[in-house]
Amino acid sequence: MGSTNTQPPHVSVPETSQSGFSTTVTDTTLSEAIIVLRKRRWILIACVMIGLAYGVFKAESQPRVYESYGRIQVRSGSSNEYRVSAVQGYAGDASSKMLTEIEIIKSDSLMLKVCREMDLSNNGDFLEKKAPDPRTSLDDGETRQTTVHRLQSILHVSLVPKTDIIRISYSSPNPKLSADIVNTVIRDYKQRSYQTRFESSRQVSDFLSGTLEGLKQEVETSQEQMMDLQRRLGILAFDPTHSQLSSSLEDLSKAAGAAKLARIIAEARYRVLSSTDPNTIEGTIEMTPGTTPGELNVLRGQLASARANYAQLESSLGPNHPQSKALKAQIDEFIKEINAELDRLLVQAKQIYIVARANEDQTTAALEAQKTDAYKLRDQLVEYTLRQREFEANRTLYDSLQQRLRTASVQSGLESLEIDVVDPALPPAYPVLRPQSTVILTALVFGILAGIVLAFLMESLDTGLRSIAEIESITELPSLAIIPRARRTSADQAGTLTTAQRNIGILTQPKSQFAEAFRSLRTSLLLSTAGHPPKFIVLTSATPSEGKTTAASNLAAILAQRDTRVLLIDGDLRRPNIHHRFGLNGKIGLTTVLTGATTLEETVQKVAEIPNLDILPSGPVPPFPTEMLSSGAMEAILKRCGDLYDYIVIDSPPILSVTDGVILARQADAVVLVVRHGKSSKHVVRRARDILLRSGAGITGIVLNAVDLNSPEYYGYYGYSGYSYASVDSDSWESQTASGDGARKAGETKR
């Protein structure tokens, strides 16, 4: 029996998917890319050969063209000193300026002018074909567009790096034509540049001339209004803020303050005198600032002296003495004079107060009148200032526009100096040819790249399943074994072999890679369930012709080699094939047992080459296979078979064709999905897996059948070589040349 190593080949650490199955994590590596290129090598070789042939053809047949070029310098020129900002200029940086000029050179209008001047629409060298007959005209839209676009596509205009020089080149079969086209483009470009700028300057001059007339009238009107207002204000070439009105207002303000102060003093003196005791008025008068005692003080002195004398006379002579009476009369006279003087002082203080108040009122009134005049003057000064500013603004604008008008007149004659021809175009002496090696190498590189792209494109469009990693990624199921593709037995050997030996490969080549792969499948199945190996094993496929019958027959034969009783049931009631593989009678079988026509023991047939293997053929094809397989009789037969045999292998119909396989899969302990190498597509296999999962069947894993172990994906993946049984005939199996240990390892699952 084969090796018991159950780890599937090239399977990385499995991850548990949502459905409970393990998935294989694979990485895209350089080795996998090389495998794809080896598998699609004929596409790559074809693309390389086509690219090489095309490169040789292009190198030998490349046209002999003559490239002529000229160079011009585009500079700012001396006109910038007189430039008017409204005239077309270059406000941006130098790079923007040069890019703008390049686009002007390649503009449709300039190209059309060149085409008209040189009649290029009827030039055979330009068209690289015979000149049209009859002659064409550029007035025709299609001819104009075709000619202009051809000139634009061949004419090359570029900027010499880090300079203001533009290089203009053209290539054609005629060297003189190439030079003429370049020189004509340069000449028309210079003429267009001059005309454009001259026309722009002229338009600005016309505009400024019309504007200046109206602006001149505004300046004169503003000047007249300002002079009239100046005359009304009395302002003659001096600062209006220092006028006579301002000086008068200042003097009146000071006089009003002094008058108010004098009135306050006079009023205070009057009120003090009118309310003071006559006996103390003398002291009050003396205390008043700015006053002197005057005559009142003299009279009071005399009165005091008379009273003193009278007192002496009255004490010595008596009051009736004539001297005393005379002195008494003098005292009375003094009192009258003092009272009269007091009345005079009070009247004098009142008059002073009245005069001070009148003076204050008049001064204040004059001040208010002067203020009113000052306010009027202020308003007039504001108006004067506005008129003056308006005049200055109009005059400044007028002078500026007049200066720019003169500048525009000068500039219009200087703009043509901005373009200088550095190198005029000359007819080239030799054609421009690319090196043949460069052309061939370029085409070869593009051919290789196209081949690689096409190879990977074909690989991505290929929906077939060709590798274990791909199948495990699509199905999220473990791989149980890789079954190599077997070669048919030769005619000499077929004459000496029985039907079973011709169809069951493990009987004639028990030590081949083919037999070893089924031993790996057997090991994987027996170790797929915990506790006990599966008893009922169903082999099915997504579509017909994927090799499930061959896999079921050889698996049953391998299981029967372990001293165990094995029953192989042909569950395909629609297209039975098991009895043909073993050369048995197909008239009785599963259908006759289900209908009760025969018993299980009578129907089971023996295989002489494998004593432990019994075969239960399908029997006659029934009208309703699905109903028979889902009947209670089928369950009873399977239960009976389970009591009699150690393993029951069932060959079921394809999953996507009929539902019979799903019914049988639900009653099995292990379900094996057979996928044919290079035939089954991703969508089909995924669909079959989903149907089995939704039905509740426990899918054990997948078997990749009919694998060519010499194919790139397996040859590079299984790096084993020369490991096989020594007694095996080298011509028996195609897989003998492949790595035997690698194929065996690829069919084993985890323990």
Q: Are 610 and 579 in contact (CB under 8 A)?
A: no
Cis peptide bond N-terminal to 534, omega within 30: no
C-alpha–C-alpha distance, residues 177 and 19, integer Å: 77
pLDDT-derived band of residue 278, with 50, 70 and 90 as boundaries?
low
Distances from the Cα of 741 to the Cαs of 107, 514, 738, in angstroms? 73, 12, 9
C-alpha–C-alpha distance, residues 205 and 413, integer Å: 13
For residue 3, give the nearest of 733, 729, 734, 723 by alpha carbon: 723
Q: Are 300 and 338 in contact (CB under 8 A)?
A: yes
C-alpha–C-alpha distance, residues 626 and 573, integer Å: 9
Distances from the Cα of 695 to the Cαs of 265, 626, 673, 681, in angstroms? 128, 15, 15, 22
| Paired tokens of 666 | 């639900």
Pairing assessment for the beta strands 670-676 and 536-541 based on DSSP bridges: parallel
For residue 82, give the nearest of 416, 409, 399 by alpha carbon: 409
Indicate the length of the chain as a whole number.
Answer: 751
DSSP-assigned beta bridge partners for residue 43:
none
C-alpha–C-alpha distance, residues 386 and 391, integer Å: 8
pLDDT-derived band of residue 537, with 50, 70 and 90 as boundaries?
very high
| Phi, psi (deg, nearest 5) at residue 297 | -70, -35
| Paired tokens of 644 | 């009699």
Please state the rounded mean pLDDT for residues 361-386: 74
For residue 287, give the nearest of 301, 300, 268, 314 by alpha carbon: 268
pTM of the predicted model over 0.85? no
- Mean pLDDT lowest among 578-587, 603-612, 720-729: 720-729
Between these two residues, 209 and 298, which has the higher pLDDT value? 298
Distances from the Cα of 61 to the Cαs of 128, 150, 175, 436, 439, in angstroms? 15, 22, 19, 10, 11
| Paired tokens of 123 | 């030039």
| Paired tokens of 435 | 């090196």
243-266 pLDDT, tens digit each: 566 677 677 777 777 887 777 877
Which 8-state DSSP code applies to residue 130? P
Dihedral angle, C-alpha 239, 240, 241, 244, nearest 10 °: 110
| Paired tokens of 374 | 């000052």
Which 8-state DSSP code applies to residue 401? H
Output the pLDDT for position 3.
Answer: 37
For residue 652, give the nearest of 588, 560, 590, 559 by alpha carbon: 590
Whose tokens are 């005559």? That residue is 295
- Mean pLDDT lowest among 218-222, 304-308, 347-351, 694-698: 218-222
Provide the 10 A C-beta neighbour count for residue 547.
21
Has residue 311 got a pLDDT over 90? no
Q: Are 66 and 171 in contact (CB under 8 A)?
A: yes
Has residue 652 got a pLDDT over 70? yes
| Phi, psi (deg, nearest 5) at residue 430 | -130, 150
Please state the rounded mean pLDDT for residues 549-555: 91
Has residue 486 got a pLDDT over 60? yes
Between these two residues, 103 and 226, which has the higher pLDDT value? 103
DSSP-assigned beta bridge partners for residue 648:
536, 567
- The widest CA-to-CA distance across the chain, in whole angstroms, is 211
Q: Are 549 and 505 in contact (CB under 8 A)?
A: no
C-alpha–C-alpha distance, residues 230 and 746, integer Å: 115
pLDDT-derived band of residue 639, with 50, 70 and 90 as boundaries?
very high
Q: Are 483 and 705 in contact (CB under 8 A)?
A: yes
Identity of the residue numbered 329: A
* 452-463: b (≥16 Cβ within 10 Å) or e: beebeeebeeee
